[in-house]
Structure 1
């Protein structure tokens, strides 16, 4: 059997290693450049590879092709494979056939990384032999090849779900839906929503789907489509008979006729959206029979995701917060919503067709000044110049942080929450977040 892996990044190399171990004839092809560390791994494992090209003769003879999530379906090589009727699948679909582990799949437009890390933390603290993979950390396929976990918590993007056929998580979570990556879905929001709901397409009556009960699009989809899984909602507005809800500053989670309660102020994570993330992760822990006391302790001692509302330092009574992972408007909405002090907001980068209007009420209420950090800041300037007292432009992180320090007074916060991609001035959002933290530490 010939396995061709398109894309020589983390998921591609992991798939190649698993394929080789399972006796496939493996070839890795990347249209871009493969990192040196990955080239070494491939060579050590005797796996053939090429980069900066796709040699069709070596690809179109595949029995199965694993496509990395970053490659769009409209790429010429993918179109040719589909025309030839060759199966093109995602890493998750390839790897799942080689493990008996139970999986928990987590998707959504925002909050999926935090919910994934929190779920993993709850299960690990609860004593389960659990792995963490998907869109995060070490590749799932690589772990299936080398580790022996009983349970995996997988963060799944819509692109990874596009490439599944038989994959079925025992427990699935859809944190919420908001327009994102529409360039990959012909600018059709419904196609994007359908991609997210692929997470439940193979689930049966023994499986569970945990969803945001307040999300209009999720509720609409569930009303119009039949699913087999047991639905467990979580909500800030409704008191659910089954699932999670909030009452008098407490979380209540009723799952499997077991009621879990905890005061919101004891949660390690702040903000309404994190109350939802906590309810979703708690529902998983309850289904996996983790003790209530362990869940409570884990929710109160959890360290959040790096670059996601990460408190960096307090200098002269000003709190600096790194939310570099906020690459769309919806994420920034959550960030601003969780701010409790006047805020100097650092924003900007490569705009993905953002509509900033929904942020207006929060910006008026919470933001005292704005620092635009990008190559082209015109749209931000036009949108917000009459809303805040001061708005400045800069193209350097060090300068942005220095200006922020001058603008901020005792008791304020400085928030990096860009709403945009980072590729104009930085390698990626992690690089942007690290530069912010370094600049803050050097103040």
Structure 2
């Protein structure tokens, strides 16, 4: 009797895993608990390739019963907790459980990887490094938690004779939790602040998941400006440290840093001026240093890195400037899904600022975000399921600016523009500090909706 592999989740990762395994002749069944139109469309495409899809199938042991005696392994999408009770029960019955990233690693581990993790900044670093390498004629596809799934990349290059020079993989804590084997040539840890605690339970568990990636890396790269990482320096695997602070005035002992003239320094030698990156915020200077350090590890010269950085335009939905209206510079920062990321976006734009925030609340410490609001915002418009929660936090902090609440982003944008006009604000930023899943499928859909709403005002 032929063995079967069950894939849980019909998202990007699940679809990629199903196609990869099917291409190798495995009998694949995909479970998806939802049954909406988009899932039905994906299911029909997979069925056309000979892949069995079971929609409306919850993650319960009973769902596996028809195939339990034939089941060789289960591949889970990142949304599925690694310690889910049903997965533990399957393990006790001898079923091998693996993450989609592990599946891709098994097919791609002969190639050099850059694994990028961190609470914030990893998407910008992933895009920037991909841009730098490919501008220098290196084949360096990016994927994982952004763009194509890792399994899709594996499938694509199994069919090609040309192999990538590097794989640039953004790796979330959800993905790393289920894939402890990942051992990249270069590992990057951008920063760490409390996030996803509703999934991982506490900061120690969350940080240890990320730490493991760096311990497995041949060359780890760390951000010395991050408070958590700098405090942990003595316990972390030896690697390369970067800092946007002048090392003549600190004790960080970073190998890559920016001096008081704005020059990027590598071990005492000037490389190029940091103004080559046309993106606001000190966090983006840290991202630039991380990318420079990684690119130097791939063998690129400083002049080639400088030239390619000058043409990097940023990442969609991350401090993306949409235009100017009534003197308001408008930014789409939909990817700011936690307090720390929202704070960094707020301090990167010119005050006084009108903030659009809200969505599905996440656990975390809002204190630094609230301080930034007090210093830089003159008004805030809240929307979505988290509006009341955020309003309570802001009111308790004794914020003196205008606070308004509404259900939908469309109404929130109208109110925010009016407040901005009345208060003569310089910036308006969608920087939600919340997940998007109350009203959107992801932060990208939320950001695209915001872009359309702003476009309608700009065209008037």
Query: Structure 2 length normalisation: TM-score?
Result: 0.88
Query: Which residue number in structure 2 is paired with residue 114 of structure 1?
Result: 124
Partners in 1 of 2:297 and 2:374 — Cα distance?
Answer: 42
Q: Pick from 194, 197, 218: which aligns with 2:229?
A: 218
Whichever structure has more helix as a proportion of its residues is 2
Choose which of 47, 50, 53 in structure 1 pairs with 2:54. 50
Instruction: Compute the displacement of 1:378 (Å).
Output: 2.8
State the alpha-carbon separation in 2 of the partners of residues 14 and 376 from structure 1: 33
Q: What do the CA deviations read for 1:96-120 (whole angstroms, capped 9, x no partner)? A: 2223321100000001111111111
- CA gap of 1:380–1:20, structure 2 versus 1, over 3 A, is closer
Report how far residue 143 of structure 1 moved. Answer: 1.7
Which stretch shows the higher mean deviation, 4-13 or 102-111? 4-13
CA deviation after TM superposition for structure 1 residue 436, in Å:
1.4
Alpha-carbon RMSD? 2.2
For the residues of structure 2 that align with 1:342 and 1:430, how far apart are their CA atoms? Answer: 26
The answer to whether the Cα contact below 8 Å between 1:253 and 1:279 also exists between their aligned partners in 2 is no
User: Does the alignment pair 1:35 with 2:39?
Assistant: yes
* Residues 23/128 of structure 1: CA separation in 2 closer, same or farther (3 Å cut): same
* Corresponding residue for residue 86 of structure 2: 77
- Is residue 324–residue 416 contact of structure 1 (8 Å, CA) maintained in 2? yes
1:311 aligns with 2:321: yes
| 1:45–1:260 distance in 2 versus 1, CA, 3 Å | farther
Question: Do residues 174 (structure 1) and 189 (structure 2) align?
Answer: yes
Aligned residue among 224, 241, 245 for 2:257: 245
The ranges of structure 1 where at least 4 consecutive aligned residues each deviate by more than 6 angstroms after the TM superposition are none
Equivalent residue runs for 1:57-72 within 5 Å: 57=65, 58=67, 61-72=70-81
> Is 1:20 the equivalent of 2:13?
no
Q: Secondary structure at the match of 1:77?
A: helix
Deviation at 1:308, TM superposition (A): 0.8
Does the CA contact (< 8 Å) of 2:7 and 2:31 recur in 1?
Answer: yes
Classify 1:422/1:97 alpha carbon distance in 2 versus 1 (closer, same or farther; 3 Å).
closer
Residue 423 of structure 1 pairs with residue 437 of structure 2: yes
Using the TM superposition, give the Cα deviation of residue 87 of structure 1 relative to its aligned residue in structure 2, in angstroms. 2.3
Mapping for residues 196-215 of structure 1, pairs under 5 Å: 196-203=210-217, 207-215=218-226
Q: In the aligned structure 2, how far is the partner of 1:128 from the partner of 1:86?
A: 40
CA contact (8 A) 1:377 1:393 kept: yes
Q: What whole-Å deviation, never above 9, does each CA across 1:63-93 have from its counterpart, x for those lacking one? A: 2221100011343421222222322111221
Conserved in 1, the CA contact under 8 Å of 2:192 and 2:229?
yes
Query: Cα distance, 1:175 vs. partner?
Result: 0.4
CA shift digits 1:215-271 (9 cap, x unpaired)? 23324444235x4xx5001113362655321211424242xx694533233312210
Once residues 307 and 414 of structure 2 are traced to their aligned partners in structure 1, the CA distance between those partners, rounded to angstroms, is 38
| Residue 343, structure 1, aligned to residue 345, structure 2 | no
CA contact (8 A) 1:250 1:261 kept: no
1:362 matched residue in structure 2: 372
Q: Helix, strand or coil: the match of 1:301?
A: coil
Matched, 1:374 2:388: no
Structure 2 distance, partners of 1:357, 1:416, is 19
2:195 and 2:363 in contact (8 A); partners too: no
Task: For 1:13 and 1:380, locate their aligned partners in 2 and report how far apart those are by CA, in whole Å.
Answer: 36
**How do residues 247-266 of structure 1 correspond to structure 2 at under 5 angstroms?**
247-254=259-266, 259=269, 261-266=271-276
- 1:126 and 1:291 in contact (8 A); partners too: no
* Correspondence for 2:407: 395
CA–CA distance in structure 1, aligned partners of residues 69 and 281 of structure 2? 50
Q: Structure 1 pair 294/395, CA: closer, same or farther in 2 (3 Å)?
A: same
Unaligned runs of 5+ in 2: 158-162
Alignment CA distance shift 1:433-1:283 (3 Å): same
Change in 2 beyond 3 A, CA 1:162/1:425: closer
Native 8 Å contact 1:5 1:12 kept in 2: yes
Match of 2:199 in 1: 184
Determine the structure 1 residue equivalent to 2:160: none
Compared CA separation, residues 36 and 101, structure 1 to 2 (3 A): farther
8 Å contact 1:307–1:323 — kept in the other structure? yes
